[in-house]
Amino acid sequence: MPLAPPILSALTAGVLIVMQMALMLTVVLARRRNRQSIGDGGNPELLAAIRRHGNFAENAAIFVAGFTLLEVLGGSRTGIATMCAAFVVGRISHVIGLSMEKTVNPFRVGGVVITASVGLALGFGLIRVALSKLGIFFQ
C-alpha cells in the first residue's frame, strides 16, 4: 500500500515558512533602522525582533518534522490537523506576546502553553505510532 503524501504537514510548513520570512524581515528592518549588522547593540527593539524570529525558528522546524513523520506513519488525520492548527495559533500568539511592551502577558503565556501542549501530544503520538509499527503495545 503506497504512503499518502504528508499534505497537512506540507500546508503547515508553508504557513510557517511564510511567517518565519515575515519575522526575518522585521529583524532586517530593525537592523537597518539601528545600523546594527551583528548582535543587538543593546537596542531593545532589535533584541525583541531577534528573539521573536529566533524563538519561532527554534520551534517550527522540529514540529514540522514531527508532524510529517506522524502523517507518513499513519497517525490520525484529524489529530494531526488539530495539532498543526493549534501550533500555528500558538506561534502567532507567542509572536504577538513578544511584540507587546509588557512581555509577560496572556498572548505569550498562551503561546507557550499551546506550543508545549502540542509538543507533548505530538511526542507521545509519535511514540505510540512508532511502537505500534514495531509491534509493541497498541496493536
Boundaries of every domain in the chain: 7-133
pLDDT per position as a tens digit, 108-118 = 999 999 999 99
Residue positions counted in the chain: 139
pTM: 0.90
Between CA 122 and CA 66 the distance in angstroms is: 7
What pLDDT is attached to residue 1? 52
What pLDDT is attached to residue 108? 95
What average pLDDT does range 9-25 have in this prediction?
A: 96
Whether residue 66 has pLDDT greater than 90? yes
According to the CATH classification, is domain 7-133 in 2.30.42.10? no
Between CA 35 and CA 91 the distance in angstroms is: 28
Write a three-state SS string for the chain: CCCCCCHHHHHHHHHHHHHHHHHHHHHHHHHHHHCCCCCCCCCHHHHHHHHHHHHHHHHHHHHHHHHHHHHHCCCCHHHHHHHHHHHHHHHHHHHHHHHCCCCCCHHHHHHHHHHHHHHHHHHHHHHHHHHHHCCCCCC
